Every structure is written in C-alpha cells, then in structure tokens.
Chains A and B, each alone.
Chain A
C-alpha cells in the first residue's frame, strides 16, 4: 500500500517564475492538504482540498493556488515566485469524514528560489 507520494523531490526556480508541485494521496484517502515548511520552522497550513474544491485556506496570498483531480491527487501552483517561497512543501492526506485531523504526510518537495 503506497503512502503519500510527491513529485518532484527537488526543484530550483528563478524569482518571478511559476511552479507546480504534485501529490498523490495514500490509498483510500479523499482529502489533500498542503503545508509550507521554511527552514528551521514548523509546517504552516496552506490549503485543503476535498471533492475537488478548496475547503479551507491558511494565511497565504493568492499566488498560491491548487487543484484536486477526480482520482484525489492534487497540485499546488505558486506564481510569481519570491525568494521567501523557498521551503519544503509537504502534502498530507486524510479521510474527510473522520474529521479527526489525523493526516499522513509525504516526503515533501524542496523548492529553492534563486
């Protein structure tokens, strides 16, 4: 049973560019959440998707957007990249119906903006 998978593992982009990160949830999970983890800090919630809709959003600008597909996989898009967007981006999956907050995390995508 595959856990949460993310691609790519590492990414280097230039300021002003756009980036797309991808996530496949753990088998059977229907909800995907994205988190940003800056160096030396705890993860910060970006947003959460269920039934292909954004259900909850953290304190991130509109440059951060996402999508969920019918197979529950998800993308995170970041436009007009800033140096401060350099971070580890973590995807987490869960069951919507349990509402317990129990989430399983992928290995993350390390984004470096130069």
Chain B
C-alpha cells in the first residue's frame, strides 16, 4: 500500500533563510506527487505537482521540489522564506484510482 512520510513535524526558519521540507513516499509504480499548503483554518492549496519528465518542478509562491526515485523522495524547497510562508505543508501521492494519500504534515514557523 502507498504511504507518505514527512519526518519533520515542526520546522522553524528565519525570514530570508532557505527552507527544505522532506517527503518520502512508498508506492510501487511511478508516482504522481504533490505538495499542498494549508494556512490556519483554511483548505489546501496546491503548490506544485510531479507527474513525469524533469525531476525538478517549479510551483507557485517561489517553491520548487525535486523528485529522486532512488531515494523515494520529493523534497520541497524555497530559497528565501517570507513571513507569509508560515503554514502547514503536506506531501501527497496519488494512489490507485484517483485518491490522494497524505503525509502527516510539517508545520513551518517563520522568525522575524
């Protein structure tokens, strides 16, 4: 069965510093992978997706993610964090059919 692990529950980063969020997945076939962001009390907003092709994908809000098949990882990065990036981030994999399996999330706190 498919699964997603986000090893870091909380990350604190200073404004202007770089950010990397880790995601490891388990899925037998070629995965379709997603990163979503959730602000407090809000729904999920799609940041970026990987289906195939170039392993470095660009998303909205200056985020990018790199797919590494050998490591079963899909880590999210941002070169310079803004205070508005404080939120919870979820990695997800598309399973059989059309459902998404999510990781437990990583909460990002931004220090001024």
Q: Which residues of B contact A105 (CB under 8 A)?
A: 36, 43-46
Say how far A64's CB is from chain B's closest CB, in angstroms: 14
Residue in B90, B95, B97 whose CB lies within 8 Å of A43 = B90
Q: What's the interface size class on B, roughly?
A: 20 to 34
Q: Is the CB of B49 within 8 A of A33?
A: no
Q: Is the CB of B94 within 8 A of A106?
A: no
Q: How far is the CA of A106 from the CA of B44 in the complex (A)?
A: 7
Question: Is residue A68 contacting chain B, with contact meaning CB distance below 8 A?
Answer: no
Q: Is the CB of B32 within 8 A of A106?
A: no
Q: Is the CB of B98 within 8 A of A96?
A: yes
Do A94 and B45 contact each other (CB < 8 Å), given the known contacts A100-B51, A102-B34? Answer: no
Residue in B41, B42, B100, B105 whose CB lies within 8 Å of A101 = B100
Q: How far is the CA of A108 from the CA of B29 in the complex (A)?
A: 31
Bits for A74-114, please: 1 = Cβ < 8 Å to B, else 0.
00000000000000001010101001111111111010000
Q: Is the CB of B46 within 8 A of A43?
A: no
Q: Which residues of A contact B105 (CB under 8 A)?
A: 40-42
Q: Is the CB of B43 within 8 A of A107?
A: yes
Say how far A39's CB is from chain B's closest CB, in angstroms: 11
Say how far A99's CB is from chain B's closest CB, in angstroms: 6
Which single residue of chain B is at the shortest CB-CB distance from A56? Answer: B97
Residue in A58, A94, A96, A106 whose CB lies within 8 Å of B43 = A106
* Residue from the set B90, B92, B94, B99 with the largest chain A CB neighbour count within 10 Å: B99
Say how far B66's CB is from chain A's closest CB, in angstroms: 19
Say how far B69's CB is from chain A's closest CB, in angstroms: 18
Q: How far is the CA of A102 from the CA of B44 in the complex (A)?
A: 12
Question: Is residue A31 contacting chain B, with contact meaning CB distance below 8 A?
Answer: yes
Question: Is residue A55 contacting chain B, with contact meaning CB distance below 8 A?
Answer: yes
Residue in A6, A33, A90, A108 whose CB lies within 8 Å of B98 = A33
Interchain residue pairs with CB less than 8 A apart (13): A33-B100, A41-B104, A45-B100, A55-B97, A90-B44, A94-B98, A101-B92, A101-B99, A102-B46, A105-B45, A107-B43, A108-B42, A110-B41
